[in-house]
Structure 1
Amino acid sequence: MAWGVLIVDALGSDLRIAVGASRDEGEKALDLTSQAIIAEAAEYVVRCDLTPDADPLMRSMVSQGIHAALSSIRRDENGAFAGLAAGQAYSAPARTYYRDGYWTMQPLLMLAPEAVRDEIRILAKGVQPDGEAPSGVILTGPAQSQAWQHFVADSKANPKTHKRAVPEYHNRPQDWWSDHFDSPLFFVLFLNDYVSATKDFAEVERHWTVVKAITDRYLSLAGPDSVLPLKPRNDRDWADNVYREGLVSYDLGLFVGAMDAVARLGEDLDPKLAERARKTANLAREEIEAKLFVPATGGYVDYGTPGAFVEDHLVLDSLTLSRFAAISGQKAVGLLSAFESKLETRHNQEQPYGSWGVMCAYPPFKRQSDLRSKTAFPYRYHNGSDWPYWDGAYAEERLRHGLGGARYALTRWWQTCLDNGWIGAVEYFSPPYGRGSLLQGWSTMPAAVVLKYGLDAANSEPMS
């Protein structure tokens, strides 16, 4: 191709495949003998096998999850870091995402913290002076970048040929899907988690102007007599098939977490901004409780405007409220109990497919006009599929709050992968619709939780 090379080499009984940005890079890979390739593979298997004492289901889940995380670390033809890749379906053009990267880096903080640092530096370049950021940052070399720009221009000029312009809102050459509501918040959380794990405060100083721009942006997005930022009606956060607007619990959890992070990180560096962020986070908690709690479900509004339309079903992504302490510990336990009874399919007899995993939403969305593409179908994609990364986040919150009962969320999705012969950690799935991308980086979350809390906690029964 104009931007890459693939070489297939038959050597005796072996078939070796090499790829590269250039023929030179591809041929250099073939300098390795077959024996050396096999030896490297064996060493890598051992590196990923971090729970050798676990039962086969848990052990293989952890091994494949760690493989998904480590294999997400990409390097260019010169050996320089080239971002954390999302998954096999997200490779051309090469790009790295804010939200995918945040969840993918959770085990890498333990296994490869330098990759997390380098990812932060790449993502910082995608944040605009006003604090806006795209879904992901495009990282292609000159040849592939030129090919991609040609494709984007042609698809916009000829939408009937390409079905639609690809991608939507592609406003800058470096942007993959510009102006995503959650991306800037993830950048702040990325930095906070990295500093907490490594104590490398130099990265905070390096990126503080970016953090300040993001903080100013979200403070300016609040509605009248409120500190809660309002999301415009668009499909630009993780639920990118849903036109969520107004107060979105998922985004508000990230917002509170980011404001708490700014308060901690800026305490000495920028005391005035830190204090403003601290006060904002505390006021946000009060508003969330007053405006978004749904007594009938024990959960929180998915999205909407109180007094107008609200989507009030249970959604697993409202876990951000618990993860980032946007709600009290007591309310978090109630939320997790609601998820257990309605989103864990083993306990939900209303959904028609038996025990198959943890749904990301139930019941299905009420307003069809808010949905597009795959999510328009009940139990598909954002409308009820099992997403292993949310399974991991859910399991972690159960363990963090002392509830036990995490094994189902940690392993049921993996049992489905094995039953279907799917190779490695998948992006999402549901019984009537199959799976998403293979080797999905953020699907390492269940493995990360097992490493963080240990096998005894991961296998513990639910607490009464």
Structure 2
Amino acid sequence: MRVFPQPDGALRIEDPDAHVLYDMGNPRLFVRFDGRGHALHLLLADGFYAGAWELDLTVDQQAFRFREGRAIGRRWTLEGASDGLEVRLSSFISEEAPGVFQVLTVRSRGDRKQGIGLRIHLRFTLPTSWRDRWRSALAQRIPRWIAQPRWWSEGWAKGLLPPAPERVQIFPGGWIRGDGRVPLRWVSSIAPGEIRARGREVDLRWDLPISPGETVRLAWGMVAGSTENPTAEIETAHEAALRYEEWLSRLHRWEDPLLQSLFVAGLNTAIAMYKSLPDGFAGLVAGPDYAYPPRLYFRDGYWTAQALLFFRPEWVRRHLLSIARGIGENGACPSGVFAPHLLHPEGPMPGGLPDWLPDHLDAPAFLVLLVHDYLRVTEDWQVLEERVPSLHTGRERPLWAAARSALMYLISRDSNGDGLVEKPDAPNDWADNVRRGTWVTYDQALYVAALRAGCMIARALREERLAEHLASRAWEAQRALNTILWDPARGHYVNYRRPNYVEDHFSIDTLVTLLYGLAEREQAHRILAAARSLQTRYNPKQPYGDWGVMSVFPLYRNRRDLFGRSAHPYRYHNGADWPYWDGVYGWLLLQREDPDWKYVLTRWWSYSLENGWLTPVEYYSPPYPRGGLLQGWSAMPAAALLWGKERICPPHLLALGGGAWE
């Protein structure tokens, strides 16, 4: 198996197999296909598992294998040839509706009649182990007023997603209906010659003769919800997928196919994160592995939004109004917010409190920063007056009031007035497998940036007293950042410091100090010089050769601060490559015309393609399993390319002046 980026941004795959995966998403679903054409799972955005299917294709009773694949946007195409037959299987999804489809096209170039056999095994049952079933049954019995334990959400789709259909019915013509809380319809353009049902599993079989010069076309797929003509939806979805593919390809062009494919894949990933959920809740999920039970993230959503602000600002607006519902009365914010329909007694899934991982110290800052960035791009000041009902109390307040409370909460975390926010020795920021505290450069820099952003908004609204207060706090916090957390001997900010201990290695997340312009020019020069040690090509002290950009180096010294995946050297937060941080780092280099920018922005992508990962990965390192695919915040390298290509000033760096900002 080999992957080749194409000039239009598509990926061409030689000899795809079952290990090659391609994920797609639209506002109503995620779906995954493999290199044999199997639909491995169909996951509905509001929290249901809607099935999977496997297919066996034969030519004259001999198994057929696809020899080439093409991946771009919402379309996955497999092709091959056998004994004069040209075979193509196109897999695609609807633009907005919860529909997943495939079209098989066979063209005869031979001189004899041949037989095409197709068998599809359709499953509406969850592929769970006894442990998954036990865990799911236990979760259903946890009282709704008790906060759910971490494993409840870490079971992800398999153990905790209820299947959409409760029973399956077969109708004349071969179409199938799954009855349950979400109705499902399976349709095909040609009725199967044979159909057998066993509970919620169905076998369908077609035997199609093809004569010399003839073309046979067979389409099928699944649609969730009520629809009058699901067969017509197949053609509509295919046309939309082609238009979307063309838009992605032509939006921006790079001469280097690697850069072109990175941009196309990244922007497509960010677009795939937007989900429309019940109760008017909508916004940016983190990725397929972090969307079930469905929830929106403050942190992941901020980075994902950077690639969307100039293309889908209305989605960012809806995301802001949705996540703001999870802000506590005191301004504290969780890592993520569960979709409200999960919390209702009549809802489809076991409920709990709205917080997913409560009180994350970086979340309030990201909320305020995203409000600021959105206003910079759109000048939509009306959004600040939109009333947001709290998921905790039901009381409504304007978005700006909720954002102010988040700022006040951050200020309250400076318990002794020294300008530094005190973080508990807990895993409550992006490094959620590391107990970082008491003073963390990353969190402190976000605090300063959020104070500055809030100050700009307050001044634009003529709230002078608040603006002065935030400006004063920002000055004190930045002075403390450069006094307590800057290491002049090493030439960079330390990762974190607590009384009697300092983790003084270089951590890639300290680059937010440069992203938000918090370091002096000479400091910035020294920081970027120190950051070169993270590039594995320049670092012979790490044992795995040239594989990307490490998140920290040297590794963490205090093993008592580590747990879970980060307890292993070079894994997760303890040295893995995180493409979203590569986007931040690469942008800083690109902005300064440093030739290292291309390596930093692309090595993760070329490494991914070498391993057959066709959509942006969450994190990786050579000796361990990769993170999730189609990961939202891993669109950051595409955002960096966009800013550099069009010389667009990123929202967080736009200068004052114009409109309400004067």
Give the secondary structure class of the aligned counterpart of 1:259: helix
Q: Does 1:107 align with 2:307?
A: yes
1:166 maps to: none
State the SS of the aligned residue for 1:232: strand
Distance across 2 between alignment mates of 1:134 and 1:19: 34
Decide whether aligned partners of structure 1 residues 438 and 4 sit closer, same or farther in structure 2, where only a CA change above 3 A counts.
farther
1:204 and 1:350, CA in 2 relative to 1: closer, same or farther beyond 3 A?
same
Normalised to the residue count of structure 1, the TM-score between the two structures is: 0.87
Match of 2:501 in 1: 309
Q: What is the rounded CA distance, in whole Å, between the counterparts of 2:233 and 2:188 in structure 1?
A: 12
- Is the Cα–Cα contact under 8 Å of residues 187 and 231 in structure 2 kept in the other structure? no
Q: Is the 8 A contact 1:14 1:34 kept in 2?
A: no
- C-alpha displacement at 1:173, in angstroms? 2.3
Match of 1:272 among 462, 465, 470: 465
Counterpart residue type for residue 376 of structure 2: S
**Inter-partner Cα distance in structure 2 for 1:120 and 1:141:** 18
Q: Once the 2 structures are TM-superposed, how far is the Cα of residue 8 of structure 1 from its aligned partner? A: 4.2
1:58 alignment counterpart? 259
Residue 39 of structure 1 is matched in structure 2 by 239
User: Which residue pairs with 1:386 in the alignment?
Assistant: 577
Cα distance change on mapping 1:409 and 1:90 into 2, 3 Å: same
Q: 1:269 offset after TM fit, Å?
A: 3.6
d(CA) in 2 for partners of 1:92 and 1:140?
13
Structure 2 distance, partners of 1:453, 1:394, is: 13
Structure 1 unpaired stretches of 5+ = 151-171, 458-464
Query: For the residues of structure 2 that align with 1:456 and 1:187, how far apart are their CA atoms?
Result: 26
Quick one: structure 1 residues 414 and 6, their matched pair in 2 at CA, closer, same or farther if it must change by over 3 Å? farther
Q: Please tell me the residue identity of whatever aligns with 2:222.
A: A
CA RMSD between the two structures: 2.3
Is residue 283 of structure 1 aligned with residue 487 of structure 2?
A: no
1:339–1:16 distance in 2 versus 1, CA, 3 Å: farther
Residue 549 of structure 2 aligns with which residue? 358
1:422 alignment partner, one of 606, 610, 613 = 613
Distance 1:380 1:441 in 2: 20
TM-score, with length taken from structure 2:
0.62
Q: Is structure 2 residue 432 aligned with structure 1 residue 240?
A: yes
Q: 1:377 to 1:6 in 2, by over 3 A?
A: farther
SS in 2 for 1:266: helix
Residues 176-185 or 222-231, more deviating: 222-231
Structure whose residues are more often strand by fraction? 2
1:328 corresponds to 2:540: no
Query: Counterpart amino acid of 1:173?
Result: L
The offset of 1:432, in angstroms, is 0.8
Q: Which runs of 5+ in 2 are unaligned?
A: 1-162, 165-180, 191-216, 386-397, 649-662
- For 1:179 and 1:436, the matched residues in 2 are separated by 24
Change (3 A) 1:137 1:31: farther
1:18-75 per-residue CA deviation (whole Å, 9 max, x = no partner) reads 353xx42xx4682434333222111111222233343111111111001001111112
1:29-428 equivalences under 5 Å are 30-49=230-249, 50-76=251-277, 82-139=282-339, 141=341, 146=347, 148-149=349-350, 173-205=353-385, 206-267=398-459, 268-305=461-498, 307-340=499-532, 342-428=533-619
Is the 2:342–2:349 contact (alpha carbons within 8 Å) kept by the matching residues of 1?
no
> SS of the counterpart of 2:536?
coil
How big is the shift at 1:283? 1.7
Distance across 1 between alignment mates of 2:324 and 2:647: 38
Aligned residues: 429
Q: Secondary structure at the match of 2:269?
A: helix
Letter in 2 for 1:180: H
Q: The residue matched to 2:232 in structure 1 has which SS?
A: coil
Contact 2:335 2:360 in 1 (8 A): yes
Could you tell me which amino acid in structure 1 is paired with residue 261 of structure 2? S
Q: Which amino acid aligns with 1:252?
A: Q
Percent identical among aligned pairs is: 37
CA distance in 2, matches of 1:441, 1:173: 24
Structure 1 stretches of at least 4 aligned residues deviating more than 6 Å after TM superposition: none
The separation in 2 between residues aligned to 1:7 and 1:384, in whole angstroms, is 46
Q: Identify if the C-alpha distance between structure 1 residues 210 and 81 changes in structure 2 by more than 3 Å, giving closer, same or farther.
A: closer
**Does structure 2 retain, via aligned residues, the 8 Å contact 1:57–1:415?**
yes
Counterpart AA for 1:426: V
- Aligned partner of 1:18 among 217, 222, 233: 222
Measured against aligned partners, the alpha-carbon deviations of 1:238-294 in whole angstroms (never above 9, x if no partner) come to: 001011111111111110100001111001442112111111111222211111112
Assess, with a 3 A threshold, how the Cα gap between structure 1 residues 144 and 446 changes in structure 2: closer, same or farther. farther
Give the Cα separation in 2 of the matches to 1:28 and 1:427: 39
- The structure that has the greater radius of gyration is 2
Higher helix proportion = 1
Provide the rounded CA distance (Å) in 2 between the counterparts of 1:30 and 1:366.
Answer: 58
Q: Secondary structure at the match of 1:429?
A: coil
Counterpart-to-counterpart distance in 1, 2:305 and 2:560: 35
Of 135-144 and 399-408, deviating more is 135-144
How far does the alpha carbon of each residue in 1:351-408 deviate from its partner, in whole angstroms, 9 at most, with x for none? 0111111111111111111111110001111011111110001111223344342111
Going from structure 1 to structure 2, the CA distance change for 1:279 and 1:314 (only over 3 Å counts) comes to same
